Structure 1
Amino acid sequence: MKERRSPWPLVLAVLLNAGILFALFWTFHVQLPASSGNHPMQAQLSSEMPPAAMPAPVPAPAPIPQPAPKPAPKPVPKPIPQPTPKPVTPPPPSAAQIAAEKAAAAKAAEAKAAQIAAAREAQEKHAEELAARQKAEREAKAQAAAAKAAQEKAAKQAAAKAAAEKAAQEKRAAEQAAAARAAALKKQLAAQAAQAAAARAKAQRMAEAKAQLQAEANMAAARAQQASENQRMLGMLINTIKTQVSERWVPVSSSALSCEIQIRLGPQGQLLGTPIVVRSSGDTHFDHLVVAAVEAAAPFVPPIGLAYSTFNQPINLKMNAEDLNHG
């Protein structure tokens, strides 16, 4: 920014020059007293001195308002005119007076020239000091402006850095908050998934347990039903054996005799080994007749549907003479 210069130094210089010119003008036109004969003598400048510049014309003062005219006074008798004396011609100045006047004028001119030179030198020195002071002030202002600009720039940079750091912190905080929310949501979803998986596993286990219980119940029912059916069929087999044995039985006189024998059958209903008397009737002959009738009646055809594992087991047959005698 361009510094605005003060007009006061220029005004002071103009006023100083005007004062010097006015002093020169007044000195050159002053009347010096005559050395003899009281003749007025006017100082003259040497032809070697440069003509002084005339000061600027002073503007005429404004006219003063005149009072209203007074009434004319009464006429006064005119005085009697006196005769005008003739002017006395002064004698011409001598050569010594002229030389003294010239020496005085030269001395005054030299003094004025020295005064003007001193004033000019003082003015130039003052102008230099003023210029140096103004330059120092401009430099100080420039330095202050540069320092202020540097401070403002540093403040702006600090503010920008602080804003950037704040934005970065807010961004990091937002990212951390988002990551925390995402982690919480993920954890919640994982917990929900785990709960759902646990519920599904529990439901599956319950379903499997229920199915297993149902299967076991079904199996138990099937086994019970099969056992009942096997017992029924085994009873049918026993009745078939007794019927076949009664067909081979030779009646005896005593109908009160009874014994119990044990047999084992093969896959085709054939006897496996010799029947065993597990409870004797007390009559050995009756026991032997029962065993012989059982051996003669074999093989025994098992009913359809009876498992081999059922009739392959030892079968106990209770035989009594009354049932055998009546077939």
Structure 2
Amino acid sequence: MASITKRGNTWQYSVSNYVDGKNKPIRKGGFLSKNEAIYAAAEIEAQKAKGKIKTTSEKPFALYFEKWIKTYKSNVHPNTKLRYKNSLKWIKEYFKNKPLNELTSFDYQEFLNWFGKNRSRASVEKIDSHAGACIRHAFNVGDIKYNITFNRQISATNDGKKAHDKYLDFDDSQKLYEHLLQHLEDSQFNYLFLLALVSGTRFQELVGLTWKDLDFESNTIDINKAWDHQKQTGFTKTKNEQSVRKLTIDPAVMQEFKLICPDTHLDSRIFKSTYNPSKSLTNNGANSALEKILRELGIKIITVHGLRHTHASVLLYNGANIHYISERLGHRDLQTTMNTYSHVIKELKERDDSVATGIYHNQNV
């Protein structure tokens, strides 16, 4: 509702306009008559009704982002939630109390440039995916006038680990496979590494396995939960709905697990801390143990998560269908698989190009 007041010899209108729950009225004066002010105010009201006047958020970007996480990301996996909180930490440090509606595309690009110093492209892309999604939400609902993420560029000064350094080639993976089979009794880590290598499961899924999740008749494992190995709070949901799956496993590997499977307490976890059975093996401990083995074998160092990449890459190189691999890994969608293993897919395309161009030149006469 507009109010019309006289100020000296001229008239002024004031139209109520709420931003973040607070009234930030739109005012304009200098009209020579009351009717002129009334007509001008009516035009503003009409524009508001049509959505042409967007209320913009004067809330600090950091607070807006924090509220956006609580509202729209409350049900994400705990590990994903931690990554959002990490992004919030950097946004608070850089933007401090600067209002969201005052940010420009230059401000956002300078933020990405600042964050990208001494960090990998993947790290910058991750925080951009978080902050950018929040900003685009603010734009879509009218809390800001412009999508300041438009045409932004990812800037990183650290190349990070090369894609081919994150996994083992087939020969090295086979060397590791044979070594683990021969040295399983040395450590329960070796059982975990072997299962990771032949299944491609995530670490939190591995340490969340119980004996009843293993079916020795069908040689399958049932991935239906995970374990919070970071805070050790217990069982948790899988990363996404697609991660709930059954995987067919190498029979030789399943036989080794069958030999150590207890006759009772099948609901107990397989990979437990030696010092505290209520806790699981840790990711840091597993990485250290794997590094020691790889050094002994003269193989390049990768992480336990790299065994997941190794499994997928070996499947691709050996002709497995990309849809099958995506489902086996428990990816949310096929595009995730395509993006993650684009380096392998590119190499295979080059190989397949040579096959396609030589079909009619390599036939036996």
**Fold shared per TM-score above 0.5:** no
Q: Which has the larger radius of gyration?
A: 1
Under TM normalisation by the shorter chain, which class is it? under 0.3
TM-score by length of 1: 0.18
Higher helix share: 1
